[in-house]
Amino acid sequence: MSGPRVEEYWLPKRGSTKEEYEDAIRVNKRGLRFAVADGASESSFAGLWARLLVESFAQGRLCRRSPSTFPRDVSPLRRQWQQEIRGRSLPWYAELKAAAGAFAAFVGLKVRRSRKAWWAIAVGDCCLFLIRQGRLERAFPIESVEGFPSRPFLLHSLSTSGVDKQLIHITEGDWQPGDTFLLMSDALATYFLTALASSQTPDSLLSFDRTPQGFISWITDLRDDHLIRNDDVSLVIVSYAPAAT
């Protein structure tokens, strides 16, 4: 069976440059590992933290064997973030800000080709949606727009006490031909769930011109209409072809 079609889209917050984008996306089509992270904009070097998380997950170092190893696998990433920062000469304010560490939300998906199973892990408000036969089959870890906290608990780049297990959400399921997985950061996820709650369908929401420019046009229109919060936007679409009839 051929693998899924994988698409990646991203756009920085309006008013920010692409260098200032603090989400991160990594896909590993061969290993069927996909991740989106969202660096908290009020922390510094958050984009770096987000990139370390998704890179490590996509390459199989984070959640090496299963989602249960997440707390242990995060430790070397923390050390790597701290080493990167320590190596820089920073003005007093950047030193004080960096001392507080960086925060990020994260969602990672691993699909198993042969067993038609998948598992996912999330911290904070990046989301995974499973679309099946034109309907939202699963929403993880947040199931409705009311579930988005104004101040989410996120993954910290500094900690001597491990990862609070209460922050980590894990789920699993089966997939079928025709299924589509969506991973996205919170601004788009909030819009998505709001639109579905007002009777729009997943297919209509994904009917934008599936090119980078098409994505930019779609998000720009949403921002102009004040339908989406002004924030970095990241989207991964993993779609399996329907069964041949």
According to CB under 8 A, which one of 61, 97, 132, 138 is a site residue for another protein? 97
Q: Contact between 96 and another protein (CB under 8 A)?
A: yes
Query: What angle separates helix 70-86 from helix 46-58, to the nearest 10 degrees?
Result: 140
Min separation Cβ 24 and another protein, Å: 14
CA atoms of 144 and 194, how far apart (whole Å): 8
Q: Collect all residues with Cβ–Cβ distance below 8 Å to 88 and sequence separation of at least 6.
A: none
Q: Contact between 95 and another protein (CB under 8 A)?
A: yes
Widest distance between CA atoms in the chain = 65
Binding mask 181-200 for another protein (x = CB under 8 A): --------------------
CA atoms of 221 and 216, how far apart (whole Å): 9
**Strands of 43-189, DSSP E:** 103-112, 117-123, 127-132, 135-140, 155-156, 168-174, 180-184
Is the Cβ–Cβ distance between 124 and 155 less than 8 Å? yes
Binding mask 130-149 for another protein (x = CB under 8 A): -------------------x
Rg of the chain (C-alpha set): 18
User: How many other CB atoms sit within 10 Å of the CB of residue 64?
Assistant: 13
Dihedral Cα 222, 227, 232, 238, nearest 10 deg: -70
Q: Contact between 45 and another protein (CB under 8 A)?
A: yes
According to CB under 8 A, which one of 25, 35, 36, 47 is a site residue for another protein? 47
Q: Which stretch binds another protein (CB under 8 A): 2-10, 66-74, 95-103, 208-216?
A: 95-103
Min separation Cβ 228 and another protein, Å: 13
Q: Contact between 211 and another protein (CB under 8 A)?
A: no
Tokens encoding 8: 């990646």
C-beta of 74 vs 111, nearer to another protein = 74
According to CB under 8 A, which one of 4, 23, 44, 183 is a site residue for another protein? 44
Q: Which stretch binds another protein (CB under 8 A): 27-35, 44-52, 138-146, 216-224?
A: 44-52
Q: Contact between 100 and another protein (CB under 8 A)?
A: yes
Is the Cβ–Cβ distance between 17 and 127 less than 8 Å? no
Per CB under 8 A, which of residues 148..167 are in contact with another protein? 149-154, 156, 160-161, 164, 167
Binding positions for another protein, rule: CB under 8 A: 15, 19-20, 38, 40-45, 47-48, 91-97, 99-100, 103, 124, 149-154, 156, 160-161, 164, 167, 230-231
